[in-house]
Amino acid sequence: MTHPDRPDRPLLPGDVHDEDHLRRLLATAADTTPVGPPPVATMLRHHRVRRRSRLLVAAAVVVAGAGVGLATSVPFGGDPGPGAGTAAATDMTEESAAEEFAAEDYDALSEDAVRQGADEDAAADSSEDAEVPTSMSGRGGVMPLGGWTSARLEASLAGAWSVGSAPQPASTNGGQEYSFGGGRYELQDDVSTPTAATLYFGDGGTVTAWTGCEAGAGTWSVADGTVSIELTRGVPLCDDGTGLLALLAEDLRSVRVVVADDGTRTLLDEDGRLLAVLRRP
Partner 1 sequence: MERYDEFSDFVATRWPRLVRSAVLLGCSPAEAEDVVQTALELCLRKWSLVRGADDRDAYVHRVLINTFTSSRRRRWVGERPTAVLPEEHGPDRADEVDLADAVLRALRTLTTEQRAVVVLRYYAHLSEKQTAEALGVAPGTVKSRLSRALRVLAGDPDLVELRGAP
Angle CA 169–173–177, to nearest 5: 40
Question: Is residue 1 a contact point for partner 1 (CB under 8 A)?
Answer: no
Question: Smaller CB distance to partner 1: residue 189 or 269?
Answer: 269
Question: Is residue 239 a contact point for partner 1 (CB under 8 A)?
Answer: no
Question: Is residue 182 a contact point for partner 1 (CB under 8 A)?
Answer: no
Question: Is residue 130 a contact point for partner 1 (CB under 8 A)?
Answer: no
Question: Is residue 126 a contact point for partner 1 (CB under 8 A)?
Answer: no
Question: Is residue 27 a contact point for partner 1 (CB under 8 A)?
Answer: yes
Cα–Cα nearest to 234, from 217, 250, 219, 220: 217
Separation CA 276–CA 252 (nearest Å) = 13
Question: Is residue 8 a contact point for partner 1 (CB under 8 A)?
Answer: no
Question: Is residue 103 a contact point for partner 1 (CB under 8 A)?
Answer: no
Binding segment toward partner 1, per CB under 8 A, in 33-41, 74-82, 102-110, 200-208:
33-41
| Shortest spacing between CB 251 and partner 1, in angstroms | 6
Of 42, 90, 137, 179, the one binding partner 1 (CB under 8 A) is 42
Of 8, 9, 29, 138, the one binding partner 1 (CB under 8 A) is 29
Question: Is residue 111 a contact point for partner 1 (CB under 8 A)?
Answer: no
Question: Smaller CB distance to partner 1: residue 42 or 73?
Answer: 42
Question: Is residue 166 a contact point for partner 1 (CB under 8 A)?
Answer: no
Of 79, 107, 240, 251, the one binding partner 1 (CB under 8 A) is 251
The separation between CA 154 and the C-alpha centre of its own chain, rounded to angstroms, equals 13
| Shortest spacing between CB 227 and partner 1, in angstroms | 24
Q: Measured in Å, how far apart are the chain's first and last C-alpha atoms?
A: 79
| Shortest spacing between CB 132 and partner 1, in angstroms | 13
| Shortest spacing between CB 155 and partner 1, in angstroms | 27
Question: Is residue 32 a contact point for partner 1 (CB under 8 A)?
Answer: yes
Binding segment toward partner 1, per CB under 8 A, in 38-46, 130-138, 220-228, 258-266:
38-46
Question: Smaller CB distance to partner 1: residue 5 or 119?
Answer: 5
Q: What secondary structure, in 3-state letters, does the chain show?
A: CEECCEEEEECCCCHHHCHHHHHHHHHHHHHCCCCCCCCHHHHHHHHHHHHHHHHHHHHHHHHHHHCCCCCCCCCCCCCCCCCHHHHHHHHCCHHHHHHHHHHHHHHHHHHHHHHHCHHHHHHHHHHHHHHCCCCCCCCCCCCECCCCCCCEEEEEECCCCEECCCCCCECCCCCEEEEECCCEEEEECCCCCCCCEEEECCHHHCCCCCCCCCCCCEEEEEECCEEEEEECCCCCCCCCCCCCEECCCCCCCCEEEEECCCCCEEEECCCCCEEEEECCC
Question: Is residue 31 a contact point for partner 1 (CB under 8 A)?
Answer: yes
Separation CA 173–CA 261 (nearest Å) = 9
The residue ranges that bind partner 1 (CB under 8 A) are: 4-5, 11-17, 19, 22-23, 25-40, 42-44, 46-47, 50, 129, 250-251, 271
